Chain A
Amino acid sequence: MYIAGLDIGSQSTCAVIWGSGRIWAFSVLPSGVNPQKRGEEALAEALTKSGLTLKDLDAIIATGYGRYQVEAHRQVSEISCQAKGVHFFFPQVRTVIDLGGQDSKVILVDPRTGRVLDFLMNDKCAAGTGRFLELMARVLEIELEDYGKLITQGKEDLVLANTCAVFAESEVVGLIAQGKERADIARAVCKAVAQRVVQLAERMGLAEPIAITGGVARNRGVLHFLEREIGASLLVPEEPLLTAALGACLLEG
């Protein structure tokens, strides 16, 4: 039995092909403006990699914000999928922090089943999401990957007073104008994101072990400050973008 999980997020679209207890292939593409088309492309790519065709699939399960825009046998919220996917990699995990492009979520997971016990989402504001890091990277004229490197070079402990993306942008511009080092500003940006996420997570009550998923999980800068703020190390799946799509498969299979 082969199942495809399709996670259509705001930033990336991920397809996973699952069967006989293992991942056969996966693909990750940027979501772009046409989630339906991108979903089909991601699925086609994953199928090609696995050597299977659409006819071989027993079910397609869609998740993510664009889940209702693609043809699928069933739609499941990304919250349940994320929990199940992480549970596959780290069965002991009790909290998942998912930092996506447009929102952040904290999910409490039952370690016995991988089911969701409770969750909290922040989506009204870009602060604490990948979008915030992207916006600030643009102002700083750096690539997203540079954050990790830059935080090790920073010396001055700058603080961004505003976690609102719009205000923070002008604050960063102000810091640049004051001649502050780019590395120090990058550090402050990562710290601001981490603090915002921790605020959300603490409302929920963090239970260890904690895993982190989503695009921001790859940002070593934010990860560093998150671990420092939380006071615990975070488990990062090898492919933090595919957990929701994998979870979709597991919920069906």
Chain B
Amino acid sequence: MHRPPQWLLKSFSFLLNRKMPFRLLKAYTRWLEWRKPPTDLAQFSYQVTLRSIAKLYGREGKVVWASLFFPSEFIYAFRGLPFYPEIAAGLFAALGFAEIPLHRAEKAWFSQDLCSYHRLGLGASLWRFFPRPSFLLATTSICWGTVSFFQVLEEIFRVPCYILDVPEEYSSEAIRYLAAQLEDLAHTLKEKEGVTFQWEEVFHHAQKALSMVQEIESLRKRKDLLLLPPTKNLDYLPYYYQFMGDEVAVTFFEQLRAFLLSSTQTLPHRLLWLHLKPFYPSPLPSLLEEYGLGVVCEEFTSLFPHELNPLEPFLSLGEKIASLSFHFTHPKARTKRILQWFKEYQAEGAIQFNQWGCRQSQGMNALLRQSLRREGFPILFLDGDHLDRRHNTQEQWRTRLEAFAEILRG
């Protein structure tokens, strides 16, 4: 991509930091909702994205940045506006703008070896492309890089950063430890930010969305239904993380269920998709389709059934963080969960798209491969980068996917 001139980027950044354009955008989104009530997923997501942009950049409340495993329900409970820079980084890449913030971060001495979710997030922050945060919330999971990422963000924006220490185990003790930290955090925020917490409505929405997710998961276990194009569900990541606790997630999952039920086409092979995927426009989904490789379950959209009790909000959210973190980061727990999916979804194989610089997921590759092979399940590791095109060899995906499909065919 040809990099735009500095003056243009500076003007863009200037505009992003003014409220006026987003008031206009808000008026436009209202008009759009009235004129074109969304009838399909694409239109619905488009309108949700515009509305979120208008809210976040128009600063209609406290903008709170959070790391992926920090529960958005906590933020909605005090009427904050959650913003997940790691998810926004994916959106930037999907729009084809990744190179600009990546280059900015590298210019500021962030190595190309740093995970591009963080590198892109830092570059976009240095450019002031993201909505300015009131404060930052993070957990020490999913990876230690997240902690450093948020610590640097704290320096860039000079706003408070609160980090939850997530234990490595999943036990009632660990849940209580997290609950105590969340409660402390709520007190601090009440004092320092003057916020108050209301849990009922938020938990009601989140619980409803979660049961919809479970319903969708059950439908995806059926062999006559398939979400296409393969890996598309990962584009809906914001609904699984950023919008949990907002009514919008419930409406989205209702639409997704209807879309799934209306699917008429299936593919010969049923696969699990581990880790995330390249978010920039790429031939990957069409290659998967060409070789008959359908994706029936994605690791990052498989949430855990957990009870959200408004009378015990901190314990409920403590449990959510503990279970998510444990099942993603503990090698044995992760492998066990994946093997269980193989059975539940009648999957034949798995693909993991390794992220350049991600020690967290790749450290487990040998163990994962060994365990899957023992059970007779093939796994394909594709190496590349989810956001930074420079670290990919797209031409080679074809050969690997083709050979993998040939293995599945037997």
Task: List chain A positions with a Cβ less than 8 A from chain B.
Answer: 65, 75-80, 103, 115-119, 121, 123-124, 203
- The residues of B that contact A203 with a CB separation of less than 8 Å are 366
Cβ contact within 8 Å between B373 and A77: no
The winner among B393, B395, B403 for most chain A CB atoms within 10 A is: B403
Closest to A125 in B: B393
Count of A-B contacts judged by CB separation below 8 Å: 35
Main secondary structure of the interface of B (DSSP, over half): helix
In the assembled complex, the Cα of A124 lies from the Cα of B400 at a distance in Å of: 13
Main secondary structure of the interface of A (DSSP, over half): mixed
- State whether the Cβ of B406 lies closer than 8 Å to any Cβ in chain A: yes
- The residues of B that contact A65 with a CB separation of less than 8 Å are 395, 399
- Residues of chain B in range 370-410 having any CB-CB distance to chain A below 8 Å: 373, 378, 383, 393, 395-396, 399-400, 402-403, 406-407, 410
Smallest CB separation, A16 vs chain B (Å):
19
Cβ contact within 8 Å between B407 and A78: no
User: Contacts A77-B402, A116-B403 given; 19 further ones with Cβ under 8 A?
Assistant: A75-B402, A77-B403, A80-B406, A103-B396, A115-B407, A116-B406, A116-B407, A117-B407, A118-B373, A118-B378, A118-B407, A121-B396, A121-B399, A121-B400, A123-B393, A123-B396, A124-B383, A124-B393, A203-B366
Closest to A119 in B: B403
Contact flag A79-B373 (CB < 8 Å), given A116-B407, A124-B393: no
In the assembled complex, the Cα of A76 lies from the Cα of B81 at a distance in Å of: 51
- The residues of A that contact B396 with a CB separation of less than 8 Å are 103, 121, 123
Closest to B399 in A: A77
Cβ contact within 8 Å between A78 and B410: no
In the assembled complex, the Cα of A210 lies from the Cα of B393 at a distance in Å of: 28
Contact flag A78-B378 (CB < 8 Å), given A116-B407, A117-B407: no
Cβ contact within 8 Å between B403 and A115: no
In the assembled complex, the Cα of A203 lies from the Cα of B406 at a distance in Å of: 22
In the assembled complex, the Cα of A80 lies from the Cα of B407 at a distance in Å of: 8
Smallest CB separation, B288 vs chain A (Å):
15
Smallest CB separation, B91 vs chain A (Å):
27
- 14 contacting pairs across A/B (C-beta < 8 A): A65-B395, A65-B399, A75-B402, A76-B406, A77-B403, A78-B399, A79-B406, A115-B407, A118-B378, A118-B407, A119-B403, A121-B396, A121-B399, A123-B393
Smallest CB separation, A24 vs chain B (Å):
26
- The residues of B that contact A121 with a CB separation of less than 8 Å are 396, 399-400
Closest to B405 in A: A77
Cβ contact within 8 Å between B410 and A115: yes
- The residues of B that contact A79 with a CB separation of less than 8 Å are 399, 403, 406
Closest to A75 in B: B402
The winner among B378, B393, B407, B410 for most chain A CB atoms within 10 A is: B407
- The residues of A that contact B406 with a CB separation of less than 8 Å are 76-77, 79-80, 116
Closest to A65 in B: B399
Smallest CB separation, B278 vs chain A (Å):
15
In the assembled complex, the Cα of A116 lies from the Cα of B402 at a distance in Å of: 12
- The residues of A that contact B407 with a CB separation of less than 8 Å are 115-118
- The residues of B that contact A117 with a CB separation of less than 8 Å are 378, 407
Closest to B400 in A: A121
